Amino acid sequence: MSPPAAGGLAGARGEGGGAGVGRVFVGAGCNRVVNNVSWGACGLVAFGAQNAVALFSPLRGEIVTTLPGHKATVNCTLWLPTKKDVLQIRSRERHYLLSGSSDGIIMAWKIDSGKREWTHALQLPVMHKKGVTCLAGRMVSDTVSIFASTSSDGTVVIWKMEDEPTSVGSCEVSCLHSISVGPKPMVSLSLAVLPGQGGHLILAMGGLDHKVHIYCGDQSGKFIKACELKGHSDWIRSLDFSLPVMMGSEVHSLFLVSSSQDRTIRIWKMNSDAVSSAHTTSRKEDIGIASYIEGPLFVSGNTHYQVSLESLLVGHEDWVYSVEWQPPTLLTDDEAHQPMSILSASMDKMMMIWKPEKNTGLWINSVTVGELSHSALGFYGGHWQPDGKSILAHGYGGSFHMWRDVGLGSENWQPQIVPSGHFAPVSDLTWSRSGEYLLSVSHDQTTRIFAPWRSQVSPGDVTCWREIARPQIHGHDINCVAFIQGTGNHRFVSGADEKVSRVFEAPLSFLKTLQHATLLKTDNSGDFDDVQVLGANMSALGLSQKPIYTHGPRETQSSISNDGPDSMETIPDAVPTVFTEPPVEDQLAWNTLWPETHKLYGHGNELFSICCDHEGKIIASSCKAQSAPVAEIWLWEVGTWKAVGRLQSHNLTVTQMEFSCDNAFLLSVSRDRHLSVFSIRKTDDGAEHHLVAKLEAHKRIIWACSWNPFSYEFATGSRDKTVKIWSVQDSSSVKLLVTLPQFHDSVTALAWTGRDRASNAGILAIGMDNGMIELWNISGGRASTDSSGSGSSPLSFACMLRFDPLLCHVSTVHRLRWQKSDSSDEKSALQLASCGADHCVRVFEVRDI
């Protein structure tokens, strides 16, 4: 079955039915928790991205949708049917996805891969008082699934899901049983059907007490503890049952693999056996090695089961967070074949595939893949593709890593393109000068560049957005960014939780990579000879980034130190690279840095807001403040990088600033509920400025502001749930024109774009604290920037579009930015970028306006 395509069809229609919006791109990192990722039999990978459940297609390497609903961080996901339910998967188009969050809520989602639809099915009854940490289940018939959930409240709950076979496709979930496990919670679960038992189930759970607990039960949900498996010496982090395996002439055996923070993996074998009491007695008297290898006996139904330790796998050098059997394959006679192959993932930055050696039967490590980046901190989980051809890991940095076996005669595992994004709230973003790429900054201490990558092999194909560079990897949370306009090389300035603004300039390797991505000549492609910097190196403290020159000396790693590249004493040299295909995580994390060219000192507290005028001559910056002297806005001259002005007006943090379309005015809004408009004039000595107006504009904090790109109107948005439109009158005063109807939540982001200069018509994008986005038509008012006021008409406004919640953020929208468009066609599609507290960067296409 083909997975749902990227959500180009997903969208929303305006209230008048004219305008529509489609999803172009979603970039998001994976929550940094174990059990967060699940690769479904439908071909989609589900993972938690803050409070949303995101789905991505490994074939396209793109996130296709995010599912809103949870109010807390998503900890775990589970697909039903699972990859092991190969008999139930055949010709099935309706799949269910379960997700558990840190507030104890479990939700079910219906995914119809045939119709490319995903809908919220239901929220399960609340049974857990604390966060859900693991979900495990199996289908016991074509319509019935049994699954279990565990929580840090010390309970394990057994559930039953019945899928109605009607065309409507509803499902019912009921709670069958709750097991209390005491003060040491379970953090890993695995559920299987016992062979030859007519539906009897076995549940393994492991956690903080270092033991694997085995429970037996049936489809009624009543599970009874059968035995304990001892051997691990630290927390048990992952468990997985195989399908029954026929070993030679023996009856079917069931295998359980367990991994622990003691860095080892254990494989347990469970044989069904009609065990006599005499044999049991003689076993107790045996003091040979078999008594240590053979584990306990337990009974389920009419059958005894003998547990023995099949193998102890030692190879990882850090905590082993996940183990997973290779998914079974379906044979022609409707039998499932279980490959004897295990995938493990560890915090040592490695994934290993373990298989028994053909001659001796000893389990050995046959494949090792991993992340060699110095900045990496290991893997939280590893997963097989349903057909076993690819493996996927998710890491500490919210990143995915996928390898595919592309070998013909022998195994050859090669990295593949996967989605990427921030793993903490995204605080700001901006388009490049000509709008060919998007630059975002985040509290994950990185700056990232996303761009549409056009394939030269098949130009007719749909363009895919990729992360093409990571210009800044910092030691502080980054709060704001501004692209420096004007001519010359690509430059931006960013502000973080420090008192210094930092200026970065694009290296030669990025400029050439951008050419490959866009298949276009960049606006300064003829000036490549003038760019002498090839890339940048990270400093030992992770703050400044030093340039690597095209003709400069290169120190070799061996001449610096004898320590390995992953030791903390040395930082390996970056290798700036021109990419002809989208870079993968290892390359992004180290080889795509931009050199830092200047630091702007002056502010007394952490930077909070920054902006640049439209000619690229002046930068304005502000910092966190609780007094008027600290709340000054500093003006910096581009080129000399000197402070040329300190604007005093506000008493608390200035939250956003923006220059008017002709750079004549600077608008600022603040936590002190006031707006200020300053007159700014560039001079030979720097800049002249004076305060035009200061008004108490709202009843609560003002979070956002935006100028009309055609004239001197501007909008402000506040925590009081209102948006107000203002006008600068005769360059000497500010007048309130209109207040839009009150919104459902705090207004946190605004962006105004023009559509028709003659009628002064434009679109105001409004983002809110609940993640929702609306578009409003604004037209009339003063149509030009001259002082005559000719052509004025009453300002009119109307809501033209409310985005579908499936398209929107699930937490606060931090910034909205319209792509700069040179098109004079007012009917052409526009692109709107947004970022938010849900770790997401999103790009929308607004059409049919």
In angstroms, the CA 722 to CA 669 distance is: 14
**DSSP per-residue letters across 265-285:** EEEEEEEEE---HHHHHHHHH
Amino acid, res. 817: R
Weakest mean pLDDT among 226-240, 611-625, 789-803: 789-803
In 10 A of CB 388, how many CB atoms?
A: 17
Q: What Cα–Cα distance (Å) separates residue 66 from each residue in 34, 130, 171, 537, 810?
A: 20, 24, 21, 35, 9
Mean pLDDT (whole number) for 268-295: 54
Based on its alpha-carbon atoms, the radius of gyration of the chain, rounded to whole angstroms, reads 30
Q: What Cα–Cα distance (Å) separates residue 73 from each residue in 102, 184, 803?
A: 6, 22, 23
Are 605 and 630 a contacting pair, CB within 8 Å?
yes
Are 392 and 382 a contacting pair, CB within 8 Å?
yes
DSSP 336: E
Are 715 and 723 a contacting pair, CB within 8 Å?
yes
How is the beta sheet containing 674-683 ordered, strand by strand? 654-659, 665-670, 674-683, 686-696
CA angle 793, 795, 796 (to 5 degrees): 120
Place of tokens 């065990």: 275
Q: How confident is the model at residue 849 (pLDDT cuts 50, 70, 90)?
A: low
Amino acid, res. 667: L
The backbone region for 238, taken as left when phi is positive above 0, alpha when psi lies in -120 to 50, beta otherwise, is beta
286: its two tokens: 């045996």
Q: What Cα–Cα distance (Å) separates residue 681 from each residue in 137, 486, 618, 687?
A: 67, 17, 10, 6
Q: Which SS3 state, helix, strand or coil, does residue 581 take?
A: coil
In angstroms, the CA 455 to CA 60 distance is: 13
pLDDT value at residue 777: 93
Residue 667 has pLDDT above 90, yes or no: yes
Exposed / middle / buried, residue 488 (Cβ in 10 Å: 0-12, 13-18, 19+): middle
Tally of CA atoms within 13 A in the half-sphere of 822 that contains its CB: 4
List all residues 6 or more positions away from 178 whose beta carbon is below 8 Å from its beta carbon. Answer: 127, 155, 156, 157, 158
> CB under 8 Å, gap of 24 or more: what pairs does 160-164 form?
160/219, 160/221, 161/80, 161/96, 161/108, 161/137, 163/94, 163/96
Helix (H) or strand (E) holding 586: helix 585-591
Weakest mean pLDDT among 78-92, 269-283, 674-688: 269-283
pLDDT value at residue 211: 92
**CA 671, chain centre distance (Å):** 30
Q: Pairing between strand 52-57 and 45-49?
A: antiparallel
Higher local confidence (pLDDT), 335 or 767: 767
List all residues 6 or more positions away from 814 whose beta carbon is below 8 Å from its beta carbon. Answer: 425, 426, 427, 428, 748, 749, 767, 835, 836, 837
Amino acid, res. 390: S
Residue 565 has pLDDT above 60, yes or no: no
**Partners of 666 in the beta sheet?**
659, 678
In angstroms, the CA 6 to CA 55 distance is: 10
**CA 404, chain centre distance (Å):** 22
789: its two tokens: 């006021």
In 10 A of CB 2, how many CB atoms?
A: 11
pLDDT value at residue 197: 66
List all residues 6 or more positions away from 233 whose beta carbon is below 8 Å from its beta carbon. Answer: 210, 260, 262
Mean pLDDT (whole number) for 3-30: 64
Q: Which SS3 state, helix, strand or coil, does residue 87 take?
A: helix
- φ/ψ of 12, rounded to 5, equals -145, 150
pLDDT value at residue 785: 45
Q: What Cα–Cα distance (Å) separates residue 526 from each residue in 514, 515, 531, 549?
A: 14, 12, 10, 19
Q: How confident is the model at residue 279 (pLDDT cuts 50, 70, 90)?
A: very low
Helix (H) or strand (E) holding 516: helix 508-518
Q: How confident is the model at residue 784 (pLDDT cuts 50, 70, 90)?
A: very low
pLDDT value at residue 833: 96
Closest CA to 210 of 186, 238, 233, 227: 233
Mean pLDDT (whole number) for 489-516: 92
How do residues 226-238 score in pLDDT, each as one tens digit?
999 999 999 999 9
Higher local confidence (pLDDT), 109 or 682: 109
Q: Which SS3 state, helix, strand or coil, does residue 724 take?
A: strand
Place of tokens 């709230």: 425
CA dihedral angle for residue 819, residue 822, residue 825, residue 827, rounded to 10 degrees: -10
Q: Which SS3 state, helix, strand or coil, does residue 558 take?
A: helix
221: its two tokens: 């949900």
Mean pLDDT (whole number) for 831-836: 96
466: its two tokens: 């990729």
Closest CA to 383 of 434, 342, 426: 342
Across the chain, mean pLDDT equals 85
Higher local confidence (pLDDT), 658 or 559: 658
In angstroms, the CA 91 to CA 79 distance is: 16
List all residues 6 or more positions away from 736 whose beta carbon is below 8 Å from its beta carbon. Answer: 724, 725, 726
How do residues 710-749 score in pLDDT, each as one tens digit?
989 999 999 999 999 999 988 788 999 999 999 999 999 9
Are 148 and 158 a contacting pair, CB within 8 Å?
yes
Residue 519 has pLDDT above 80, yes or no: no
Q: Pairing between strand 665-670 and 171-180?
A: unpaired
Are 693 and 662 a contacting pair, CB within 8 Å?
no
pLDDT value at residue 457: 55
**Partners of 337 in the beta sheet?**
329
What percent helix, strand, coil does the chain show, rounded to 5? 5, 50, 45
Helix and strand tally (H, E) in the chain? 6, 63
Weakest mean pLDDT among 160-174, 382-396, 563-577, 815-829: 563-577
Are 491 and 505 a contacting pair, CB within 8 Å?
yes
In angstroms, the CA 38 to CA 820 distance is: 38
720: its two tokens: 């009081």
Closest CA to 691 of 647, 728, 734: 647
Are 369 and 351 a contacting pair, CB within 8 Å?
yes
pLDDT value at residue 454: 83
pLDDT value at residue 418: 94
Domain ranges of the chain: 326-362+369-419, 422-551+572-601
Q: Pairing between strand 320-325 and 329-330?
A: unpaired
pLDDT value at residue 586: 85
Are 69 and 89 a contacting pair, CB within 8 Å?
no
Q: What Cα–Cα distance (Å) separates residue 756 from each residue in 83, 540, 596, 709, 765?
A: 54, 52, 40, 10, 16
Higher local confidence (pLDDT), 45 or 143: 45
**DSSP per-residue letters across 648-661:** ---SS-EEEEEE-T
DSSP 515: H
Mean pLDDT (whole number) for 596-603: 92
Q: How confident is the model at residue 590 (pLDDT cuts 50, 70, 90)?
A: confident
Place of tokens 């009158």: 729
Share of the chain above pLDDT 90, in %: 59
